[in-house]
Structure 1
């Protein structure tokens, strides 16, 4: 059984609809796929309805954008109650801050690139979690850069003069919210140093105290050394080890199923959920 527990649709910064994502998962030979869009569950219904046609089991998930002392941390939450009031309020606060941040970045970019907010909206669509990838796509469409990679290496880098920070919850707080919503929290790509600074182990230990269930150890942004470190840390802290693609369609080179989670670990994640939300199987 091939299980990929980290993917994105166009409800956040992926390029495919949830239905297209499910079809792509079937084409990639996956048996189970999780949709984990940033700070939103809007794609769940579409993905769930595609289960019967694709034969791929759907895992409802989310990726929460967090921060600790200015360092970005991403938390995957599986099987949450999508109507949990406390979690919804936190997600809405984050989404609103992301949108305001994106608008301010476009204001800074405008004089040098000619970029407008309307161009970014053309890329993101309505009611989507707006992020830097949408700004990157607008820069591509206007001919300023050739790819998202080029955009993030220059205009959208956290070190560029155009960068603006946004609100993000503390990762331990986010883990508690996921557990309170009946879900199962897993830390995404904890040692992806190529993306920027990564948190120290004490932050992960605080997340464990708050209910963290696992570490996404097998990820393309982890070096062999990072994978070894992750496996040792997971064993020491009693955490489950997952692997996944972090697929974004054409938005990234990541391929569906390039890293996977074992069926045994997957069933342990399912068993920890208390929300009544579970995988949708064919």
Structure 2
């Protein structure tokens, strides 16, 4: 059993990388990928703790890409987390997030939702701060009844507290992951709000640009989603990957490795990702 999509306190998860490794070992996982949003700062801790726990560590990242309808994320696997170009580019992403967070707070306060940066910092982890932490701060302040309500009412795209930020294009994300020696995978493609025919064309275009895989197994997928994306992977000769998108206590019913109970990520996905790693110069 493997899980190729998890988050730690370095982005919007609630567990340290060491805790994720311990949980993976307890649940019998053979491999665990850490794919924090736009940061690699948790990878050294992952690598340092995984070997002793007999869990294979997969250094990864999840990059947000430009997307007009819905959201598009590109996962990177077996990246070199010390790659200077990668570090430079994700630092620019972080700067953009910081600017956006300030603008969101300004909007919320103008709307009558009093919120201070200190409120957000109390909810944040060790590195990346984003909308999930602002949602948690709104909840703590009593402005909303749940973090989901914060997004539905205020923070989701199109809502009054939303602020856009600069993102790299999907092709730029693929290039960056390749530059860092990794394999790129389209995460949870169902969050891209396109008709199937257009989405299938998009996936094909990304494959032509160097996309290595598609996340066909995902905790929130119905069987028909899994079948569809598995078929696309076969047709386009993409690696069929998967993961829980584990965030810890933020989604208490979702379990590492199995999601809501039905998820099974094919073990062969790990070997296929390894085989697809670009050769070093």
For normalisation by structure 1, the TM-score amounts to: 0.89
Query: Deviation string for 1:173-218 (max 9, x for gaps)?
Result: 211221122101111100136xx66872232222111211111011
Q: What secondary structure sits across from 1:58 in the alignment?
A: strand
Matches for 1:239-258 after TM superposition, within 5 Å: 239-252=238-251, 253-258=253-258
Corresponding position: 1:177 with 2:176: yes
Distance 1:43 1:25 in 2: 16
Report how far residue 47 of structure 1 moved.
1.4
Residue 91 of structure 1 is matched in structure 2 by: 90
Select the structure with the greater relative contact order (CA < 8 A; seq sep ≥ 6).
Answer: 1
* Structure 1 segments (4+ residues) deviating >4 Å: 196-199
Query: Deviation string for 1:118-138 (max 9, x for gaps)?
Result: 211121145x11111111111
Corresponding position: 1:136 with 2:135: yes
Report how far residue 257 of structure 1 moved.
0.8
Query: Deviation string for 1:232-268 (max 9, x for gaps)?
Result: 2111111111121000001124321123432222111
Distance 2:14 2:146 in 1: 13
Question: Does structure 1 conserve the Cα–Cα contact (< 8 Å) formed by 2:215 and 2:243?
Answer: yes
After the TM superposition, which of the residue ranges 213-222 and 81-90 deviates more from structure 2? Answer: 81-90
After the TM superposition, which of the residue ranges 258-267 and 3-12 deviates more from structure 2? Answer: 258-267
Report how far residue 17 of structure 1 moved.
1.2
Q: What secondary structure sits across from 1:178 in the alignment?
A: helix
Residue 106 of structure 2 is matched in structure 1 by: 107
Query: Deviation string for 1:30-68 (max 9, x for gaps)?
Result: 121100000111001111221244332211100011113
Distance 1:143 1:19 in 2: 32
Query: Deviation string for 1:66-113 (max 9, x for gaps)?
Result: 113454210110111223233223212222112211221111112422
Q: Give the unaligned 5+ runs of structure 2.
A: none
Change (3 A) 1:160 1:69: closer
Residue 218 of structure 1 is matched in structure 2 by: 217
Question: Does structure 1 conserve the Cα–Cα contact (< 8 Å) formed by 2:71 and 2:191?
Answer: no
Distance 2:118 2:88 in 1: 27
For normalisation by structure 2, the TM-score amounts to: 0.89
Residue 116 of structure 2 is matched in structure 1 by: 116
Distance 2:237 2:212 in 1: 8
Q: What secondary structure sits across from 1:39 in the alignment?
A: coil
RMSD over equivalenced CA pairs, Å? 2.0
